Amino acid sequence: MAESLLFYCRPGFEREVAQEITAASSRIDVTGFVKAKPGSGYVVYQAHEPKRGEDLARHLDFSELVFPRQLLRDAVLVGDLPAGDRITPIVAAARERGTRFNGLQVEMPDTNEGKALSTLTRPLMPHLEKAFATAGLVFDHPRSPDRLHVFFIGGTACYVAVSAIDNSSPWPMGIPRLRMPRGAPSRSTLKLAEAILVFLGPEEAEKRLQPGMTAVDLGASPGGWTWQLVQRHMRVLAVDNGPLDTALLDSGQVKHRREDGLRFQPPEPVDWMVCDMVEQPSHVAELAARWIREGWCRETIFNLKLPMKKRWEEVQACRERIDAALGGVEARLRVRQLYHDREEVTAHLAVEKPARS
């Protein structure tokens, strides 16, 4: 069986996913081809040699990928589904991938066309689940390392594929569904909320964003990112020449400095720096690295606004700038295009803890 990899992404960023996966495959000498229709919301990679495709699937670290929202392997296109019986071919393809899984996700691309497919998949679900059960497929096996996906790309076609629980997104369609919180001064608050969820996870966030910790928010106005930190009972120095939400100032946890975030230097080190400024990505990348290098913070989350063209190249250039600007300080950098991002990516840079002797 030919090994295909399937990636979900933000519509319009198929080219960037293709570039990223092609670069990853070349690093381990895997050759293949990419199928990426602009605006489709997904990308397929087919290795020329099936076994080498398996090698690429094992080599890819989902947590280090930038543009893909989901990573699936062993993907097969089930096309020409008969209107009278869409179920049987899907079940057959699923059985070829195993009978014991730890989850089932029926999905579609994050496009207007994909959203319209929900009118098909919703009534199909109970029949599909019944047919899976009859065929002996189990989706709550606690020791299974895999999850099964049925990804509809049209009314008569879908991909059936598998994801590794420990090397994929846990959320359907790779999208964490976050509600706009009441009281937050702007929708940008969801970007930081998602970044914390993706880069840290709930347990690590509790440890690394504790009440009483200190943070600086560069480019804070009107306070969407500051609001997230205040909700965690942190003390925040909000830096921006623009106004800040009055409720944040009234909280007693926030001080406002009307200064340029690119030039600001903290009076003393803080635990965190966050930054969502509309600036050249190279400037923000070097700024974040400088904060880590100078010891002004130990962790930072920041956004990089990408150009309309050569977006993958810009991310790579920013990685190089950060590495050079760190001046030898050991720090881990992760970059991801979040669901709540648009023409941008979000990055997390943290000082590596020294190994115990």
- Percent of all residues in the chain with a pLDDT value above 70, rounded to a whole number: 98
Choose the catalytic residue: 35, 37, 305, 309.
305
Residues 267 and 311 in one domain: yes
Residues 55 and 196 in one domain: no
The answer to whether position 94 is within a domain reads yes
Residues 345 and 294 in one domain: yes
Residues 164 and 248 in one domain: no
Residues 236 and 163 in one domain: no
Residue 51 confidence (pLDDT): 83
The answer to whether position 182 is within a domain reads no
Per the structure, the complete domain to which residue 84 belongs is given by 4-174
* Residue 357 confidence class, pLDDT cut points 50, 70, 90: very low
The answer to whether position 183 is within a domain reads no
The answer to whether position 338 is within a domain reads yes
pLDDT in tens, 250-288: 999 999 999 999 999 999 999 999 999 999 999 999 999
Q: What is the tally of structural domains in the chain? A: 2
The answer to whether position 20 is within a domain reads yes
The yes-or-no answer on residue 310 being catalytic is no
Write the CATH number for 284: 3.40.50.150
Residues 88 and 155 in one domain: yes
Residues 52 and 148 in one domain: yes
Write the CATH number for 143: 3.30.70.2810
pLDDT in tens, 286-339: 999 999 999 999 999 999 999 999 999 999 999 999 999 999 999 999 999 999
Q: Return the amino acid letter for 113.
A: E
The answer to whether position 181 is within a domain reads no
Residues 245 and 140 in one domain: no
Q: How many CA atoms lie within 13 A of 191 on its CB side?
A: 27
- Shortest CA distance to 106 belongs to which of 45, 177, 158, 175? 158
pTM over 0.85: yes
Residues 167 and 95 in one domain: yes
